[in-house]
Amino acid sequence: MPTNSPAFVSIIKHDGRALLVHSLQAQGTESNEVLKFNAFSNMALDHFESDLYNWTSLSNDYPDIKPLFRLEDINVFGRLIKQTGLKIIVGFRLEDGVSDEEVANVFREVSTTYVRSKCNPFVFSESDLVEQLKKAFTARLT
């Protein structure tokens, strides 16, 4: 389990549609937080399509994790899994002050959880997958 819990996790499918935008640290009105994180996920999609995306990275140790932007006290990072076109977006509160290693650990946990959930033989639909991911992210990342 990561030291600092992310504020939100988003998984965007290859076609650009959100599979999941999950708030892990709700502050204020829950619906406002969800809308804000949804907007951040949409903004992150623009960064994935930008030419600058390939020029930035978290560090030499984690070249596939990109710092995307900081907005409203949230530091947003993204990772594109090129083989599948899956995009993982994770936001941390600036006050948490996460290290590169902590960010990489969260991305590793999100990726592992996604693969385990997707390969689960008891997941029959996309809504089953979303519910399983929400439970797993809440349990493993908070």
Residue 130 forms part of a structural domain? yes
Predicted confidence (pLDDT) at residue 8 exceeds the cutoff of 90: yes
Number of independent structural domains in the chain: 1
Mention every residue, 6+ apart, whose C-beta is less than 8 A from residue 61: 100, 104
Average of per-residue pLDDT values in the chain: 86
Residue 52 forms part of a structural domain? yes
Residue 129 forms part of a structural domain? yes
- Burial of residue 127, with CB atoms counted within 10 A of its CB: 0-12 exposed, 13-18 middle, 19 or more buried: exposed
Predicted confidence (pLDDT) at residue 19 exceeds the cutoff of 50: yes
How many residues make up the chain in this entry?
142
Residue 3 forms part of a structural domain? no
**Predicted model pTM:** 0.88
The mean pLDDT of 117-139, rounded to a whole number, is: 92
- Burial of residue 40, with CB atoms counted within 10 A of its CB: 0-12 exposed, 13-18 middle, 19 or more buried: buried
Residue 2 forms part of a structural domain? no
Q: How confident is the model at residue 1 (pLDDT cuts 50, 70, 90)?
A: very low
Residue 100 forms part of a structural domain? yes
Q: pLDDT by residue (tens digit) across 64-92?
A: 888 899 998 899 999 998 888 999 999 99
Out of 21-25, 51-55, 108-112, give the one with best mean pLDDT: 108-112
Site of tokens 């992310």: 6
Domain residues for 66?
8-141
Q: Could you tell me the CATH number of the domain that includes residue 50?
A: 3.30.450.70
